[in-house]
Copies of this chain bind each other. A is one copy, B any other.
Amino acid sequence: MASLSNDQLLQEIKSCEDLLTDRIADNMETFGVSSTVGRLLGIIYMNREAMTLDSLADETGMSKTRMSQVMRQMISLNIAEKEYVKGSRKDHYNVERDYAQTFISLFTSNWAEVVKRNTSLERRLREQIRHLETCLTEDSSEDVKVRMERLQQELDEWNTYYNWINNLVAFFESGEIFNHVPIITPNKKEEEQNEE
């Protein structure tokens, strides 16, 4: 009905995009990263080409230092990368454009780290238990033996669980997950649903 001017329309479109970016930022917190990570992801994604720290600072109103910190974090999380741009001295950053891939990167970064930390703790505790066992005397109380046995059991369950997580990470990282939970595009203009 009401016909809007070009500028008004652009304004409206921009505000829709901003809503999307805001939501990406929110959702990203589910991965345990600061919402600013999500915000930058959204901004660069919407921008459709690599951006510099200055342009990001501009867009967010935040300091360049913070942009630097966050982009570094994103690179370590495997959801962004520097892109060389001829003729420019500035670093240009781009982001993974495939949402599902981003999910997988964050998921696996997080859990691989957890598994790693865990494995070393387990090793340490196993040793400690082995040591304690040598300290048992025949007049050690029944209680102690039970607790010791239980602790062993805990560690076994613990180990089982983290092996599972480890396999889960591999299941995602290898892309096998897509064989069982496929990505379904509603309007299949393209046939190539599974490439990469």
A185 (CB) vs chain B CBs: closest residue:
B160
CB pair A9–B144 under 8 Å, yes or no, is: yes
Count this chain's copies in the assembly.
2
Which 6 pairs show the lowest CB-CB distances between chains A and B?
A99-B161, A3-B137, A4-B135, A32-B32, A9-B144, A13-B147
User: A6 contacts B141, CB within 8 Å?
Assistant: yes
Please name all residues of chain B whose beta carbon is closer than 8 Å to the beta carbon of A31 when the two chains form the complex.
32
List which A107-157 residues lie within 8 A (CB) of chain B: 110-111, 113-114, 117-118, 121, 124-125, 128-129, 132, 134-137, 140-141, 143-144, 147-148, 150-151, 154, 156-157
| Shortest distance from the beta carbon of A77 to any chain B beta carbon, whole Å | 13
Q: Check B27–A29 contact: CB distance below 8 A.
A: no
